Structure 1
Amino acid sequence: MTRKLANLWENFVNKFFLYVPTFVVCITFLPCGLVFGYTICSLIAERNVNAGLIEYGPMIFGACTGCVIAVIMFLVKFYKGRIIFWHIPILLCAGVSNLLASCFYFANGLDTAGAFISYFAYSLNYIAGLSFLHTTLHKRSRSIMLTLAFSIFLLGTASAVSLVGTSYTKTDNNLNATATQVPKGLYVPFAGLYFTISIVILAVLIGCKVMDYLGIVDCQNILDNEFRIANSNGSIFDKRNDIIKRVKFLYVTKNQQWNVTLVVLFTEAIQYALFVYYIFWFVMNPAIRLTEVDNVAAMLWVVFAGSVVCILIVIFFSVKVTFVSNECCLIILCILSMIICNSVDTTVPLWFILFFFGLSFSNLQISLVEVTHFRYTELLFFVSYLAKLISTSMVYYYFVSNSKNSFFYATDRSTIMAQGFVYMIITALVALVVGVKVPRTHCMTLFEIQYDLLGIIFKQHEIEQLDVTCLQDGSIPTISAHMHY
C-alpha cells in the first residue's frame, strides 16, 4: 500500500513538472485579458463621457508589434530549418512590459500611455504564447490547455471590467463629472490588480526559467514524440512533394490545408466580431440592455463561466463538434429571445446567449492552432490577432460611437427582430462552413492533422488494402515501420 502511494506521488510530481511550463504560459494570458477588458470598458466609458479615454493608437501600435515579432519568429524558423525555443524570453519581455504599463494607470490622464505599453506586451504574449502551446502539447492535452489559456484570458477580461466599470460609476456619482471631464482615480483599482498580477506572473516566469536552467523542468520539451523527432532531424518543414516522395505506402487526394486555414481565419473573425458587437449592444441599447455600465462585468463573468465549462467538454468532444453544437444552440436561443422577450419582460435567453458565446469563444482559435502550416504558425496567429483588433475597432467606430445609428440603437420591435434574423443567418452560415470544411481533430497528433489536410492518406487499414504484395508474402506494413518523423 505504501509503495503504491509512493508510486502515485512520484507519477504526480513527474506529471506536474512536465506540465509546469505549459501552465505558466497559460497563466500569462491573464494580463492579455486585463488589457482587453480595459479596452472594452474604456470604450463604453468614452461613449458615455466623450472624454477620449482610449484612442486607436494603442491597438495600431499593438498590431505593428505583433507583425514585427511574427515576422522575426518566422524568419528564425526559416533560416534555422526548425523551431527555436525562445518563447519564454519573449514572454519575460512581455511580463516586464506589463509591469511597466501597470504603473501608468495609477496616474490620472496617463492611461493611454500605459495602453501603448500594454498592447506591446499583449502582442508579444499572444503570439509567443500560442506558438509555445502549439509546439509543446501532445494530442490529448492540446485542446484542454488551449481552452484553459483562453478561459484565463476571459477571467482577466471580466476582472478588468469589474474594476473599471465600478470605479467609473462610483467616481462619476461622487464627483458629478460632466460629459467632458474624466473622473479622477478611474483606473486606480484596475492598476492595482494589473500591477499585482504582473509581479506574480513575472516572478513565475523567472522561476520557470531558473528551474529550466537547473534541469528541474524542460521548457524545450515537445510532448508529441513524432513532432519532437521531426524538429530535431530537420524534417518538420518538409514540403508536401517531399513527403509524398519519401513515404511508400500512401495515396494522395487534394491539398486542402490553406483552404481550411483561410476558412478558419475568416469564420473566427466573424465570430469574434459578433461577440464584441453583442457585448456592446447588450450594454448600450436601451431596448435590449441587460445591465447598466457599472454592472457590465456580470455579462463577462457569464461568458467566463461558459469558457470554464468548455474545458470539460473538449475532453470528450472535438472543437469542431463543440463549436457547431454551440452555434445551433445560439440559433435556438435567438429564436426564443425574439419570441419570449417581445411578449414577456424577461432577458433570460439573452444571458444564455452570452454563456454559449463563452462555450464557443476558444473553439475556432484552437482549430486555427491545429490546422496551420508548421512554418507559418506565428504569421497566421498574427493575422488572427489583427482581425480581433480590427473587429473591436470597427464595431466601436461604426456602431457604438455613433449615437445616431438607428440600426444599433433602435428601440422599435421590427428593427430588433431584423437584427435577430441577420444574426441567425450569419450564425447558421458560420456553423455550416465550419461543419463542412474543418476536420475533426480530437486526440489527433499535429502530423495526423497535417496529413489529412495535405490529402496524404497514410493509415494502416488503408495500407493493407493498397499494397497487395505485402499481404501475399505475409508481411503487413505498419505506420511506425515507415515513418520518418
Structure 2
Amino acid sequence: MSNLWSKCVIKFFKYAPSYVVCLCFLPAGFIFGYTICAFIAERKHDGNLIDYGPLILGACLAFVSALCFFLIKYLKKCIIYWQPLLLIATGVFNLIASCFYFADGFDHVGAYMSYVAHSLTFVAGYGFLHTISSKVSRSLMISGCCSCYLGGISSAVSLIGASYVKNLNEYAGQAATTEQLIDGIYVNFAATYLSISAVMLAVLIGLKVLHVLGTVDMTNSLDNDLRIANANGSIFEPRAEVIKKLQFFYVTKNQQWHVTLLLLFTEAVQYALFIYLVFWFALNDAMRLHDLAHIDAMFWVIFAGSVLAIICLCFYSAKVQFVSTQLLLLLITVLGMIIYGTTGSKVTFWFLLLLFGMSYSSQQIVLLEVTHLRFTECIIFASYTMKLISVSVVYYYFVANVENSYFYSVDENTLMAQGFVFMIITALVALVVGMKVPRTHRTKLQDIQCEVYGIIFMKHQIEQLNVRWLNDGTIPTISQ
C-alpha cells in the first residue's frame, strides 16, 4: 500500500507543473466571460464600457511576448522554459486587475490589466504545455486548458448575469440609465476573481519554490526525444538537415506551413461560428434557448462538452474527434431545423452547444502539434489574435446593431437560411481538417515534425518495409 502511495505522489509531482498551467486558464476564462457579459449588457446603450481597447492591448502584448520567445529560440538555439515566470507575472496582473472591478466606473481599467494577463496566459501556457508534455499527456493537457477556460467563462457569466438581471428587474418599467443597469453587477465577479487570482498566484509561487528545491521539474520535457534534441541543439534543425541524417526514407512535398495556415484559418472560422451561436441563442427572441436570467446554462453545457472531450481524447485523436463532432453538428442541425419548423421545440439545439464544447480544443491541439517548434509562440499569437478578431467582427456586424434584420430576425425563412449557411461552413471546415491534418495521436513531436515535413519512412520504420523494394526502385528515395 505504501508503495502504491509513493507511486501516486511521484506521478502527481511529475505532472504538477502541467496541472497548474491548466488552472491558470481559469482566471483567463473569467476575463473573457466578463467581455461576453459586457457585450450583452451594453449593446443597447452608448456607454464607454464596451470598446476594443483591452482586446487590442491583449493582441499587442501577445505579439511582443511571442516575438521575445522567438528571438530567444533563435539566439540560444534551444527551448528555455521561462513560461512559469511569465505566468507568475500574469498572476500579479490578475490580482491587481481584480481590485478595479469593485468600484463602479473603474472596471474598464481592470479590463485593460486583465487582458494583459489574458494574452500572456495564452502564449506562455500553450507554449509551455506543447513542449513540456509527453506524447500521451500532450493533447489531454491542452484540452484541460480549454476546459478550465470555458469553466472560467461559465462562472463569470453566472455571477455577472445574475447581478445584471437583478438590476433589470429592479428597474422594470422605468427608463433606467446605463449607469443604473450596470451598478454593482461586477462586485460578486470581482470578489471571486480576486480569490482565484490570489490562490493561483500562491500556487505558482509555491510551484517555483518546489522547482528550486528539486521536487518538481519545469525545465525538462517529458518527451524523451525532444528533451535530447533540445539538449544537443538539434531541435530546430531545418528540413534538409533532418533528411541528411536518415538512412532510408521516402520524401514528399513539405506540408508544414500549408497545414499550419489552413488550420489557423479554419480555427478562426470555427471560433466565429461558436461566438455567433452563443450570442444568437442568447439574444435572438426566436432562437433564445433560455431566459436572460439563466443564460449561463448555455455556457455550462459547452463546458460539459469540453470535459467530455478530455475523456474522448484518451481513446482517439483530436483530428478524429473534431471531424466526428462536425459531422454530428451537421446531423443535429438538420434535425433541429426540422423539429423547430414543425413543433417549435429548441431542445435539439442544446446538443449543438455540447458538440461545440467537444470540438473547442481539437483544432488548438492539432495546430500546436503540426507547427514548427521554433515558431510555436508566433502561431499561438496568430491564433489568439484571430480569435479576438472573430469576436470583434461578430459583435460589430451582428450583435451591436439591435436593428440587424439578419441576426435578430424572427422570420422562419431567415432562420432556416442561417441554418443552411452554418451547415455549409461546418461541412467545409470538417472536409479541410479531415483531408489535410496528419495523424498525431500519442505521437512524439519529433515524429510529427517529420510527417509534416513530408518524410514518410524514417529510419526506425525500416523494419516495416520490404528492403528489396527500396533497392530496385519500387519505392523512390532521395539521397542528399
Q: Same fold (TM over 0.5)?
A: yes
1-side partners of 2:360 and 2:242: how far apart?
35
The answer for the alignment partner of 1:279 in structure 2 is 278
* 2:51 aligned to which of 37, 44, 55: 55
2-side partners of 1:69 and 1:177: how far apart?
46
Contact 1:249 1:467 in 2 (8 A): no
Contact 1:326 1:359 in 2 (8 A): yes
Contact 1:313 1:322 in 2 (8 A): yes
Deviation at 1:463, TM superposition (A): 5.6
Structure 1 470/250 Cα, relative in aligned 2: closer, same or farther at 3 Å? Answer: closer
Deviation at 1:466, TM superposition (A): 6.2
The answer for the alignment partner of 2:81 in structure 1 is 85
Which residues in structure 2 correspond to 1:342-357 (within 5 Å)? 342-357=341-356
- CA deviations 1:417-471 (Å, max 9, x no partner) are 1100000000000000000001121111101111110011215454664655999
Other structure's SS at 1:450 match: helix
Bigger drift between 75-84 and 402-411 goes to 402-411
2-side partners of 1:469 and 1:379: how far apart?
41
* 1:178 aligned to which of 173, 176, 179: 176
Deviation at 1:345, TM superposition (A): 2.9
2-side partners of 1:292 and 1:106: how far apart?
27
2-side partners of 1:404 and 1:94: how far apart?
39
Q: Percent identity?
A: 54
The answer for the alignment partner of 2:145 in structure 1 is 149
Deviation at 1:267, TM superposition (A): 0.6
The answer for the alignment partner of 1:335 in structure 2 is 334
Deviation at 1:172, TM superposition (A): 2.8
Gaps of 5+ in 2: 472-480
- CA deviations 1:91-141 (Å, max 9, x no partner) are 000000000000000000111110000000001111000000001001111
Amino acid at match of 1:170: K
The answer for the alignment partner of 1:41 in structure 2 is 37
2-side partners of 1:40 and 1:464: how far apart?
52
The answer for the alignment partner of 1:448 in structure 2 is 447
Amino acid at match of 2:426: T
Contact 2:248 2:462 in 1 (8 A): no
1-side partners of 2:403 and 2:160: how far apart?
26
1-side partners of 2:92 and 2:363: how far apart?
30
Deviation at 1:403, TM superposition (A): 1.6
2-side partners of 1:210 and 1:88: how far apart?
11
Contact 1:49 1:181 in 2 (8 A): no
Gaps of 5+ in 1: 472-485
Contact 2:246 2:459 in 1 (8 A): no
Structure 1 459/409 Cα, relative in aligned 2: closer, same or farther at 3 Å? Answer: farther
Which residues in structure 2 correspond to 1:27-38 (within 5 Å)? 27-38=23-34
The answer for the alignment partner of 2:208 in structure 1 is 209
The answer for the alignment partner of 1:438 in structure 2 is 437
The answer for the alignment partner of 1:268 in structure 2 is 267
Other structure's SS at 1:343 match: helix
Amino acid at match of 1:149: C
Which residues in structure 2 correspond to 1:86-485 (within 5 Å)? 86-175=82-171, 178-182=176-180, 183-457=182-456, 458=458, 460-462=460-462, 465=465, 467-468=467-468
Amino acid at match of 1:119: Y
Other structure's SS at 2:68 match: helix
Contact 1:31 1:98 in 2 (8 A): yes
Contact 1:143 1:314 in 2 (8 A): yes
Amino acid at match of 2:107: D
TM-score normalised by the chain length of structure 2:
0.95
Contact 1:55 1:112 in 2 (8 A): no
2-side partners of 1:223 and 1:344: how far apart?
54
Contact 2:123 2:377 in 1 (8 A): yes
Amino acid at match of 1:111: D
The answer for the alignment partner of 1:483 in structure 2 is none
TM-score normalised by the chain length of structure 1:
0.94
Other structure's SS at 2:345 match: coil
Contact 1:49 1:178 in 2 (8 A): no
Deviation at 1:52, TM superposition (A): 3.4
Structure 1 325/469 Cα, relative in aligned 2: closer, same or farther at 3 Å? Answer: closer
2-side partners of 1:194 and 1:121: how far apart?
13
Structure 1 237/177 Cα, relative in aligned 2: closer, same or farther at 3 Å? Answer: farther
